[in-house]
Amino acid sequence: MSGTYVVYLVWGPLGAGPVERFAASYRAHPARHEHRLVLLLNGIDTPDLRSRCETVAAELRAEILELPARVLDLDAYRAAAERVEGEAFLFLNTHSEILADGWLGFLAAALMRDGVGLVGATGSLESALSAAPRPLKPFLRSRWPKFPNPHLRTNAFMLRRSLMLSLDWPQSATKRQALALESGSHSITRQVWDRGMEVVVVDRDGRSYRSEQWVQSRTFRSGNQEKLLVADNRTRQYATASARRRDELCRYAWGISEAATNAPTPATFGQSARFSR
């Protein structure tokens, strides 16, 4: 696949720390797929941070694209796709940290397979309804499916530009609206499925998983996440949590306990997961 862009989002309020972590992981792990790297500057309001981003961009031979106004992540990605004429984009959020060699090659290979429209490093079955306070649930049911609600997480995801620009991608004035675009009834994932294309998670060995198999991928809140390709703040939260908290997070994501995701074959998941798309 030619014309591939890797777009890393620099969220100004978080400072230079996440940028340094991403840059170190990018240097440490060869992509093994031809691409152009873009640092997407979002909400950069200090000269020191802008200067550091320029230095990192020069070191990584990256381009810089700066947004005129601060926006939420998914809006930033849409703006980048409208302004950069690549064939395909891998979007990485500010917390992203590459964990394995060949990361881009694995994702690009999965995207090139017949019938695949969207690929990423992690997926989940979580619904915003699950953790919502009881009084709010009636108001949220029209925008979020109940559990299981399969969706690709947008911390690290890849798709063709032509498909991305054809999707219904409304601007998000609030984080809840952005969450709806990621995991609501009209999510990016569900729109891709509606086009008759598959959505897959890719692990650090290059293996692809359909939604019915995501819990078995051990990439997000599953096992010890030992097959994770690109880490983020949520995967780090799980990795450092107590056993009790890990179990709780696992149940939100998969409806089963952390102990069950460590079993050789999670039969209960395979029997019960019949998703409405």
Is position 69 within any domain? yes
- CB of 124 within 8 A of CB of 221? yes
Which of the four pLDDT bands, split at 50, 70 and 90, describes residue 274? very low
**pLDDT tens digits for 259-273?**
788 765 433 333 333
Q: CA 26: distance to chain centroid? A: 17
Is position 277 within any domain? no
The tokens for 251 are: 């149940």
Question: What is the domain range of residue 203?
Answer: 4-272
Is position 264 within any domain? yes
Q: Which phi-psi region, left, alpha or beta, contains residue 49 (left: φ > 0; alpha: ψ -120 to 50)? A: alpha
CATH of the domain at 188: 3.90.550
% of residues, the chain, pLDDT over 90: 84
Mean pLDDT of 52-67: 98
The tokens for 235 are: 């995967």
Indicate the average pLDDT of the chain.
Answer: 92
**pLDDT tens digits for 230-262?**
999 999 999 999 999 999 999 999 998 877 887
Work out the burial of residue 263: count CB atoms within 10 Å of its CB; fewer than 13 is exposed, 13-18 middle, 19 or more buried: middle
Is position 194 within any domain? yes
The answer, yes or no, to whether the previous bond of 148 is cis (omega within 30 of 0) is yes
The model carries a pTM of 0.92
Is position 210 within any domain? yes
**pLDDT tens digits for 100-138?**
999 999 999 999 999 999 999 999 999 987 766 677 767
Q: Which phi-psi region, left, alpha or beta, contains residue 218 (left: φ > 0; alpha: ψ -120 to 50)? A: left
Work out the burial of residue 174: count CB atoms within 10 Å of its CB; fewer than 13 is exposed, 13-18 middle, 19 or more buried: exposed
Q: Rounded distance, CA 97 to CA 63, Å?
A: 19
The tokens for 120 are: 């990423």
Report the chain's terminal Cα–Cα distance, integer Å: 29
Largest CA distance in the chain: 55
Angle, helix 47-60 to helix 17-28, in steps of 10 degrees: 0
Is position 81 within any domain? yes
Is position 99 within any domain? yes
Closest CA to 122 of 275, 1, 236, 10: 236
Q: Kindly tell me if the per-residue pLDDT of 26 is higher than 90.
A: yes
Is position 176 within any domain? yes
Tally of domains in the chain = 1
Q: CA 76: distance to chain centroid? A: 14
* Length of the chain in terms of residues written: 277
Mean pLDDT of 188-192: 98
What is the 3-class SS of 33-47, one letter each residue?
A: CCCEEEEEEECCCCH
Q: Rounded distance, CA 38 to CA 59, Å?
A: 12
